[in-house]
Structure 1
Amino acid sequence: MQILKLGGKTLPFMKFRKFAMTLSTLLILASFVSFFTKGLNFGLDFTGGTAVEVGFAQPADLKKVREAITASGFEDFSVQLFGSSKEILVRLAPQGDGVKAEVIGNQIIDALKQTDSSVEMRRIEFVGPSVGEDLKEQGGLAMLTALICILIYVAFRFEWRFAVGAVSALLHDVIITLGLFSILDLEFDLTILAAILAVIGYSLNDTIVVSDRIRENFRKVRIDDTIEIIDISLTQTLNRTLVTSITTILVLIALFVWGGQTIHGFATALLFGVFIGTYSSVYVASAVAIAMGVSKEDLIPEVIEKEGADLDPMP
């Protein structure tokens, strides 16, 4: 059986597991600090309200835009560039029952035309606050349900220590990816939630491949050192991991650069998620399994003796 790769060398991945776990712990703590101090910048999908996309003939002056909107009586709003310096996105909190999005959009356009007559409306979106709360709740339940189902599947497919390691890796990926959006104050909407669920699937696929190879080597390789067997398994799957990750990243870079503002956040979440998911598949899942005491005996099937097997055969 061929067990050594890369010029006959087994890479010592688990030698750096303590450093990796320290790094992961620091990233998770930074994410939680950002959650509690800044929170997530929820988009209209979750908060409700009105979004008005506006185009200018010349680069927009955001300071004058804010002053014009404030002078029109709007208070709770945000203004940001959207795709280019000539396009802006105005987000407003719900303005009360019965106020239509078209009315709000016309008021915004009228206010901005006082500063620049070339202003034109591109689109208007409206989401009710109750719908936004429902989406936020359902999105959280979707991620929780996915993690529970994964925990059950991996526990049956491999061994419960690997299940805990796999789910720990997925939680690690979700928390740090959400932390990135909180720290950078990036907008979090339904497309980002979809990207997070895609990251969970991508990371799980990598983790399953690694766990399957570890189980196979536990049964075939005549070595009792758990860490060495895991290093062999990670080395064997390294080529597959790199090829998968690099090809995925190339596609995501193209989406990030040329995909436009609409899917910019989606591409950002997936691009970062692929990096962190590949890292967690190598270090977090395996390191957690080692910390919980996984051994060769846990994955070797028990030999069941048949009744009467110890009796002498009939002459």
Structure 2
Amino acid sequence: MTEFFKLRIRKIRYLTSVVSIALMLISLAAFAMRGLNMGLDFTGGMVTEAVVSAEVTHQQMLEVLKPALGEATTVTAAGGEGRWVIRYPLAEPDQAPPVVADVLHQISGEVSVISNSMVGAQVGEDLVEQGGLALLVCLLSILAYLCFRFEWRLASGALLALMHDVVLVLGFFALTQMEFNLTVFAAVLAILGYSLNDSIIIADRIRELLVARQETPVSEINDQAVIATFSRTLVTSGTTLITVAALWLMGGAPLEGFAAAMFIGIVSGTWSSISIGTVLPEWLKLEPKHYLPAEVDSAP
């Protein structure tokens, strides 16, 4: 590998670190000012299961239901032919609740409501608390593992890379106001595991090189570690992105939020493990001596 290419790798790492910090600040600002558009899983609402004519499409259902029930309305196929599950927010206290069957009669001559239930606000609050607790436990478990596996300077780079990926996904949903539901939250947890895998592989390579090449500057060791793992990272991330892109394009509205979160998380996770995950330990003065066995004084 030529010195010119090594220098380019270093510039890429530093440049992407600056970009990552800027994106984190933008995401945090968007999250603070606009917040998340929480879905019915968290806010509560109505769930209606209905059967209509088999020729009625998903798009036709949305076109007639959203104006009557609200923009947060979602429609999901329930498995049987012409059978749909409709989720929509509760009506305002001063408004009469819409009759779903009457709305569906606009596009279907045969309408049968099988069930109609309400998801209360208390359930939504419980989901928010349990989801936040799950995320906190996940982060604490990851922190404990990193502190056990690596010296704190190297572990801090991997941990900041994880936080970067989550913040970017939340910032994207805050900026676009896409619905944030349980499937998106599941994607956030999956992103934590995926990004952690990339960060650990690079950090493990850095640790090996620190011990094997003690006279080499840390910045050059980081360059070598990134170059050594880049082909593996590219193949893994590329094949995963193809799968996620297929879900995004062909999965329809129910999987749109999940696929979008996974796509952003995989891309940001790949570059954050290369940039923040390696640059932060340099700033914290990581040295080979931090991974060498402690000298034992043999004097009496």
TM-score (ref. length: structure 1): 0.78
**2-structure distance, mates of 1:291, 1:51:** 52
User: For residue 38 of structure 2, what is the aligned residue in structure 1?
Assistant: 42
**Who is 1:78 aligned against?**
71
Aligned length: 288
Q: Does the CA-based 8 Å contact 1:28-1:175 persist in structure 2?
A: yes
Name which of 128, 135, 139 aligns with 1:147. Answer: 139
Match of 1:99 in 2: none
Alpha-carbon deviations, 1:87-138, whole Å to 9, x = none? 9966213778xxxxxx967x1222453x545484698664221111111111
Deviates more, 1:211-220 or 1:24-33: 24-33
Inter-partner Cα distance in structure 2 for 1:48 and 1:161: 43
The two structures, once aligned, show a CA RMSD in angstroms of 3.4
**52 and 180 in structure 1: CA distance in 2 versus 1, 3 angstrom threshold:** farther
How far apart are the structure 2 equivalents of 1:34 and 1:53?
A: 36
The residue correspondences of 1:109-124 to structure 2 (distance < 5 A) are 109-113=101-105, 115-118=106-109, 120=111
Q: For residue 10 of structure 2, what is the aligned residue in structure 1?
A: 14
- Change in CA separation of 1:187 and 1:297 when aligned onto 2, cut-off 3 Å: same
Point out the more displaced range, 162-171 or 252-261.
Answer: 252-261
- Asked if structure 2 preserves the Cα contact closer than 8 Å seen for 1:195 and 1:270, the reply is yes
Contact persistence 2:61–2:75 (CA under 8 A)? no
2:231 matched to 1:239? Answer: yes
Three-state SS of the structure 2 residue aligned to 1:278 is helix
Residue of structure 1 aligned with 2:100, choices 98, 105, 108: 108
Q: Which residue of 2 aligns with 1:28?
A: 24
CA contact (8 A) 2:45 2:120 kept: yes
8 Å Cα contact 1:151/1:166 also seen in 2: no
Residue 163 in 1 paired to residue 159 in 2? no
User: Out of 180, 186, 191, which is 1:188 matched to?
Assistant: 180
Contact 1:165 1:284 in 2 (8 A): yes
Q: Cα 1:196–1:132, aligned 2, differ >3 Å: closer, same or farther? A: same
Q: Evaluate the alpha carbon distance shift between residue 11 and residue 111 of structure 1 in structure 2; reply closer, same or farther with a 3 A threshold.
A: same
Cα offset, 1:238, TM superposition: 0.6
SS in 1 for 2:163: helix
Counterpart for residue 262 of structure 1: 254
Q: 1:223-248 CA distances to partner (integer Å, 9 max, x unpaired)?
A: 33110011001100111111111111
Change (3 A) 1:49 1:236: same
What is the rounded CA distance, in whole Å, between the counterparts of 1:61 and 1:111 in structure 2? 10
What corresponds to 2:80 in structure 1?
Answer: none
C-alpha contact (below 8 Å) 1:256/1:264 kept by paired residues:
yes
The share of aligned pairs that are identical, in percent, is 36
Q: What does the per-residue CA deviation read over 1:247-270, in whole Å, with 9 as the maximum and x for residues that have no partner?
A: 111221222222333222212211
Contact 2:66 2:73 in 1 (8 A): no
* Aligned-partner residue type, residue 177 of structure 1: V
What is the CA-CA distance between 1:36 and the residue it aligns to? Answer: 2.5
Stretches of structure 1 that go unaligned for 5 or more consecutive residues are 97-102, 309-315
Tell me if structure 1 keeps the 8 A contact 2:36–2:174. Answer: yes
Describe the shift of the 1:9–1:300 C-alpha distance in structure 2 as closer, same or farther (beyond 3 A).
farther
Amino acid at match of 1:45: D
Q: Aligned pair 1:214/2:210, yes or no? A: no
- Tell me the distance in 2 between the aligned counterparts of 1:152 and 1:83: 40
Distance of 1:180 and 1:122 partners within structure 2: 37
Q: Which amino acid aligns with 1:158?
A: F
Determine which structure has the larger helix proportion and give its number. Answer: 2
Cα distance between partner residues in 1 of 2:72 and 2:141:
40
Could you say if the C-alpha distance between residues 207 and 228 of structure 1 is closer, same or farther in structure 2, counting changes exceeding 3 Å? Answer: same
Q: Which moved more, 1:177-186 or 1:167-176?
A: 177-186
Cα distance in 2, alignment partners of residues 178 and 119 from structure 1 = 42
Residues 49/157 of structure 1: CA separation in 2 closer, same or farther (3 Å cut)? same
Does the 8 A contact of 2:39 with 2:72 survive in 1? Answer: no
- Structure 2 unaligned residues grouped into runs of 5+: 78-83
Change beyond 3 A, Cα 1:147–1:43: same
